[in-house]
Amino acid sequence: MKVFWLLLAVLLTCLTLGGLMSAAKGVDGPSVIFDLVISALLGAGAVGSWRRVGS
């Protein structure tokens, strides 16, 4: 089960970084805000998954 949480943590971390890079590259306001909100949610999931891996 630990392998599942590790893979999920890596996936969510990569998606978070991709969302942040997309937000940094964005030029219009609503798109940047949407990218940041989605990245924050993915980041929260990544943190939870990494904590699950550590326990």
At 32-47, the pLDDT tens digits run 999 999 999 999 999 9
Mean pLDDT of the chain: 92
- Please state at what angle helix 29-54 crosses helix 2-25, rounded to 10 degrees: 160
| Distances in whole angstroms, Cα of residue 19 to Cα of each of 3, 42, 50 | 24, 9, 19
Is this prediction's pTM over 0.75? Answer: yes
Q: Which residues, 6 or more positions from 11, have their beta carbon under 8 angstroms from its beta carbon?
A: none
For 5, phi then psi, to 5°, come to -65, -35
Range of the domain at 33: 2-54
Say which residue the tokens 């993915």 belong to.
42
Our count of domains for the chain comes to 1
